[in-house]
């Protein structure tokens, strides 16, 4: 998509001012939260969630090495998500498979 197409889309999106109170960080003592972040994501780095554990005690941040903003459900990501859904918690979530993620291959020819 070209820059002009993004500009066009933005011009068609209605602007609405929101009060500061609409941007408060949510919290829950019982809702499990699995935050999956790309380790190479400059748009939305893991540092954007500094209070995750304080706001959601049953939370887990998993950083996928070499991954950017669009991580998809490759490898074991879908299994981790299914584990949280099945067990209803992030406690004891097996994330060892993340260590097997390799840098993406780039064809050189």
Question: What residue ranges do the domains of the chain occupy?
Answer: 28-100
Torsion, Cα 18 20 22 25, to 10 degrees, reads 140
> What pLDDT score was predicted for residue 92?
95
Helices (H) and strands (E) in the chain, counts: 3, 2
Q: How many CB atoms lie within 10 A of CB 80?
A: 22
Read off the pLDDT of residues 43-99 as tens digits, 9 standing for 90 and up.
Answer: 888 888 888 999 999 999 999 998 888 887 777 899 999 999 999 999 999 999 999
Of all residues in the chain, what percent carry a pLDDT higher than 70?
98
Confidence (pTM): 0.74
């Amino acid at each position: 998509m070209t820059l002009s197409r993004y500009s066009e889309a933005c011009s068609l999106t209605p602007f609405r001012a929101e009060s500061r109170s609409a941007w408060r960080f949510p919290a829950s003592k019982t809702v499990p939260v699995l935050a999956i972040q790309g380790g190479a994501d400059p748009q939305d780095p893991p540092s954007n969630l500094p209070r995750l554990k304080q706001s959601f005690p049953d939370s887990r941040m998993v950083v996928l090495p070499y991954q950017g903003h669009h991580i998809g459900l490759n490898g074991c990501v879908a299994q981790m998500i299914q584990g949280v859904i099945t067990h209803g918690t992030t406690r004891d979530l097996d994330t060892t498979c993340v260590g097997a993620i390799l840098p993406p291959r780039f064809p050189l020819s």
